[in-house]
């Protein structure tokens, strides 16, 4: 009986271990929204209202926020992708692992003029990254990144 | 005017270098400056020595011109480019401001055919072999990339961002590591724990930590 | 690489729409026109054939991706070279300073062992390779902005205006950077030459 109990406990431990670690082949959908914020004009894209409010807490001089582009990529763990943003610059995104037991995805992001940032994030919401990159028209590059577990295709 | 007799006009080193680099060639608006430079060079051994140094550096640079790779290396590279799946011609929608309008026109035409087919069928004049033109539904098309200005012109397809952007809240993000920027070791200000929403701020040059 | 003779006569601005639509011949012609200058610029940053070819490949791929958004405000050449310079610098950062398994690297690290070899066979190729390596080392010690400006001007033979266009700076800044780059290069090469 003790032997079966210990085997059962081992099975529970292993099953928990698998539950903790994300499935290796799980696809993650990464969405990158590219925003340009400037000091001229006063138009804020309604989709960017929340991010504009946050950014303007530090940069009240930025009065216009426009959505430059948005892109979606479907990646698995250790997949790296380059997503174009502005001026032939790219953002590199690598999925470190898909959704774990806490439903968080780990990813690495390298924005223009920045080093790599690795973080774990919940799915479905955007994390803003305010870069120091300015376009020729002196607009500040802001990125917003969201991850979502992909549905099976 | 003789430049060598003009105490206020030794040319700046940058100007001398520009002359050496041929920036005055074919420039009618700089004829006067060029002439003064050449007068100065004729009279000033130091300036001529400077030009000689530029020539030496240029010679050194030319002597070390990288040798071209083998022909096979070029052929392999071209083959890789031609087989690259990310080709301009195959870019997803939003690649240019004209593409969504064309797509909208095609889909409008397709919808028109469909409507015509339905009407003709209803009127009893439709042929038995006429089938509706298939139009993709919103759930069948996923937009992979779109320019912001074109998001309003899409007829079908789910945009990556549909409505107001929802931001992460405090506690939704945990930081694992941050590398400094290669250029100047800038480490961004990673504001994760609160108060307020998580957000990552790059530091401007000269900004204190 | 057979290319229609008609394409050879087309200017870049006429070739680009064809290449953007996926015309293989147009792509081949653009590649033929600019591969060497792109390679030489990348090589000056990376000092390694394989890395330079990777940078050229990455640059052409990026150029293809962005062709539809190329608005022709600059020439294709300057636009491409900007992409090449960025790709080479990014690659250099990713790969770090790599010791190449070449006589140059060995010579730098183990000069005493190598010198007798050089004395016995002072071949022109070895000297040139040694010189190229030293020049690269010296070039690497320039601030990035000066290095980029100098390479684009000296290797790609871009005019001051074209360099300004590529880097998004004023012509005055180009002149200033070139001047300081030359001064530094001369000084460092002189020190090395004296040591020889």
CATH code of C64's domain? 1.10.1740.10
Contact between C86 and A136 using a beta-carbon 8 Å cutoff: no
Contact between B86 and C60 using a beta-carbon 8 Å cutoff: no
Q: Say if residue B102 is in the same domain as residue B56.
A: no
**Does C65 lie at the interface with A, CB-CB under 8 angstroms?**
yes
- Chain C: closest CA distance from residue A88 (Å): 7
**Per the domain annotation, does C145 fall within a domain?**
no
DSSP C129: H
Sequence-ordered alpha helix ranges (H) in chain B = 13-20, 31-43, 45-63, 71-82, 99-122
**Does C57 lie at the interface with A, CB-CB under 8 angstroms?**
no
Q: Select the residue from B199, B203, B204, B207 to test the A interface by mutation, using most A Cβ atoms within 10 A.
A: B199
Q: Per-residue pLDDT for A45 more than 70? A: yes
Contact between A128 and B142 using a beta-carbon 8 Å cutoff: no
The pairing of beta strand A140-149 with beta strand A127-134: antiparallel
**Rounded to whole angstroms, how far apart are CA atoms C16 and B205?**
38
pTM recorded for the entire structure: 0.48
Point out the residue among B144, B174, B204 whose CB comes nearest to the CB of A119: B174
Q: Which residues of B fall within a CB distance of 8 Å from C19?
A: 88
Q: Which residues of C fall within a CB distance of 8 Å from B29?
A: none
| Segment C81-97, tens digit of pLDDT | 999 999 998 888 877 64
Q: Say if residue B93 is in the same domain as residue B148.
A: yes
Let me know: does C175 contact C161? Beta carbons within 8 Å: no
Q: Per-residue pLDDT for A107 more than 90? A: yes
Q: Which residues of C fall within a CB distance of 8 Å from B69?
A: 39, 49, 53
Point out the residue among B75, B81, B99 whose CB comes nearest to the CB of C61: B81
- Chain B: closest CA distance from residue A7 (Å): 35
Point out the residue among B160, B166, B203 whose CB comes nearest to the CB of A70: B160
Q: Per-residue pLDDT for B92 more than 50? A: no
Total tally of structural domains belonging to chain C: 1
Q: Which residues of C fall within a CB distance of 8 Å from B95?
A: 68-69
**Rounded to whole angstroms, how far apart are CA atoms C141 and C190?**
14
Q: Per-residue pLDDT for B116 more than 60? A: no
The pairing of beta strand A28-38 with beta strand A140-149: antiparallel
**Per the domain annotation, does B190 fall within a domain?**
yes
Contact between C66 and A84 using a beta-carbon 8 Å cutoff: yes
| Segment C119-161, tens digit of pLDDT | 223 355 667 778 888 888 889 889 989 999 999 999 999 999 8
The pairing of beta strand A127-134 with beta strand B199-201: parallel
DSSP A58: H
Which residue range(s) make up the domain with B179? Answer: 167-209
Contact between C66 and A136 using a beta-carbon 8 Å cutoff: no
Q: Which range has the worst mean pLDDT, B20-29, B153-162, B186-195, C144-153?
A: B153-162
**Rounded to whole angstroms, how far apart are CA atoms B61 and C182?**
11
Point out the residue among B63, B77, B87 whose CB comes nearest to the CB of C56: B77
Total tally of structural domains belonging to chain B: 3
Which pLDDT belongs to residue B157?
64
- Binding partners of B (≥3 Cβ pairs within 8 A): A, C
- Chain A: closest CA distance from residue B200 (Å): 5
- The more confidently predicted of residues A46 and B107 is A46
């Amino acid at each position: 009986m003790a032997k079966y109990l210990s085997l059962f406990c081992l099975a529970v431990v292993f099953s928990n271990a698998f539950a903790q670690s994300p499935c290796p082949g799980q696809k993650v959908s990464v969405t990158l929204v590219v925003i340009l914020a400037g000091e001229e004009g006063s138009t804020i894209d309604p989709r960017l209202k929340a991010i504009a409010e946050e950014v303007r807490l530090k940069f009240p001089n930025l009065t216009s926020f426009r959505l430059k582009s948005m892109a979606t990529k479907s990646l698995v763990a250790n997949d790296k992708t380059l997503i174009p943003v502005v001026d032939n610059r790219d953002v590199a995104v690598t999925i470190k692992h898909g959704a774990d037991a806490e439903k968080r995805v780990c990813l690495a992001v390298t924005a223009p003029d920045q080093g790599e940032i690795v973080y774990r994030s919940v799915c479905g919401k955007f994390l803003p990254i305010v870069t120091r990159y300015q376009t020729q028209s002196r607009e500040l590059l802001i990125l917003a990144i969201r991850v979502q577990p992909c549905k099976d295709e | 005017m003789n430049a060598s007799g003009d105490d206020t006009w030794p040319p700046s080193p940058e100007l001398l270098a520009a002359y050496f680099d041929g920036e005055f060639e074919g420039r009618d608006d700089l004829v006067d400056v060029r002439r003064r430079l050449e007068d100065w060079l004729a009279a000033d051994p130091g300036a001529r020595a400077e030009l000689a140094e530029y020539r030496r550096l240029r010679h050194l640079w030319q002597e070390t011109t990288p040798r071209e790779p083998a022909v096979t290396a070029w052929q392999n590279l071209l083959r890789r480019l031609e087989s690259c799946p990310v080709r301009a011609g195959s870019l997803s929608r939003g690649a240019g401001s004209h593409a969504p309008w064309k797509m909208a026109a095609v889909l409008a035409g397709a919808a028109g055919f469909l409507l015509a087919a339905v009407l003709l069928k209803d009127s009893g004049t439709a042929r038995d072999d006429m089938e509706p033109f298939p139009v993709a539904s919103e759930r069948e098309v996923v937009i992979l990339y779109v320019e912001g200005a074109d998001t309003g012109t899409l007829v079908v397809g789910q945009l990556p961002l549909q409505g107001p952007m929802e931001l992460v809240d405090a506690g939704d993000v945990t930081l694992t590591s941050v590398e400094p920027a290669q250029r100047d070791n800038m480490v961004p200000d990673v504001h994760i724990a609160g108060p307020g929403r998580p957000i990552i701020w790059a530091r401007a040059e000269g900004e204190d930590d | 690489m057979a290319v229609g003779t008609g394409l050879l006569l087309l200017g870049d601005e006429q070739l680009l729409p064809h290449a953007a639509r996926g015309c293989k011949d147009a792509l081949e012609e653009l590649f033929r026109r600019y591969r060497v200058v792109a390679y030489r610029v990348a090589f000056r940053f990376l000092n390694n054939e394989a890395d330079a070819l990777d940078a050229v490949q990455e640059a052409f791929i990026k150029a293809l991706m962005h062709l539809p958004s190329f608005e022709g405000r600059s020439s294709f050449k300057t636009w491409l070279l900007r992409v090449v310079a960025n790709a080479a610098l990014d690659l250099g950062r990713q790969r770090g300073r790599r010791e190449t398994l070449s006589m140059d690297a060995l010579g730098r690290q183990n000069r005493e062992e190598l010198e007798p070899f050089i004395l016995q066979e002072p071949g022109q190729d070895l000297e040139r390779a040694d010189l190229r390596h030293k020049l690269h080392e010296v070039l690497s010690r320039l601030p990035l902005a000066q290095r980029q400006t100098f390479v684009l001007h000296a290797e790609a033979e871009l005019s001051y205006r074209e360099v300004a266009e590529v880097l998004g700076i004023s012509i005055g800044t180009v002149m200033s950077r070139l001047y300081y780059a030359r001064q530094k290069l001369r000084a460092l090469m002189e020190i090395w030459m004296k040591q020889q």
